Amino acid sequence: MCGNSGSSLLVLSKQQMAEKLKLLTRVQIIKMQVQIFFNAKIKIGGERLWAGNVEIHSSSDEWVKHGHQSDKAYNSVILHLAEKVNREVVNERGG
């Protein structure tokens, strides 16, 4: 995961998401090429609460194709969901 804490960005497959993710608040959805959930609050596997944006792609390599790894605007993404996990991703800070 990544966020203001500077820790790593977490990428979950659709199955992992269904097993571990509990969305705790309603979020605003914007439809573009991907879905972005703004100001989400999530808890994964009973661990600590994370707050920030969630980005959804069909495959994890779309993160790089869209240039998110070098865009500071995506440093607030706490969770990147991908149906197909085919690449490890990082944010602009390397997390």
Q: Look at residue 2 in the predicted model and tell me its pLDDT.
A: 36
Indicate whether 91 belongs to any domain.
no
Task: Report the pLDDT value the prediction gives residue 16, as an integer from 0 to 100.
Answer: 67
pLDDT at residue 49 above 80? yes
Give the H or E element holding residue 37. Answer: strand 35-44
User: Domain range spanning residue 37?
Assistant: 10-84
Q: Is residue 3 situated within a structural domain? A: no
For residue 4, pLDDT beyond 90: no
* Residue 40 covered by a domain: yes
Read off the tokens for 20.
Answer: 């571990």
* Tally of structural domains, the chain: 1
CA dihedral 2, 46, 58, 25 (to 10 degrees): -90
- Assigned domain for 23 exists: yes
Say which residue, 91 or 15, is predicted with more confidence.
91
Residue 4 lies in a domain: no
What average pLDDT does range 73-90 have in this prediction? Answer: 88
Assess if residue 34 is contained within a domain. yes
Task: Please indicate, yes or no, if residue 36 is contained in any of the structural domains.
Answer: yes
CA distance linking residue 42 with residue 65, whole number of Å? 26
Q: Are strands 35-44 and 77-84 parallel, antiparallel or unpaired?
A: unpaired
Q: Identify which of 46, 38, 50 has the alpha carbon closest to the alpha carbon of residue 1.
A: 50
Whether 93 is in a domain gets the answer: no
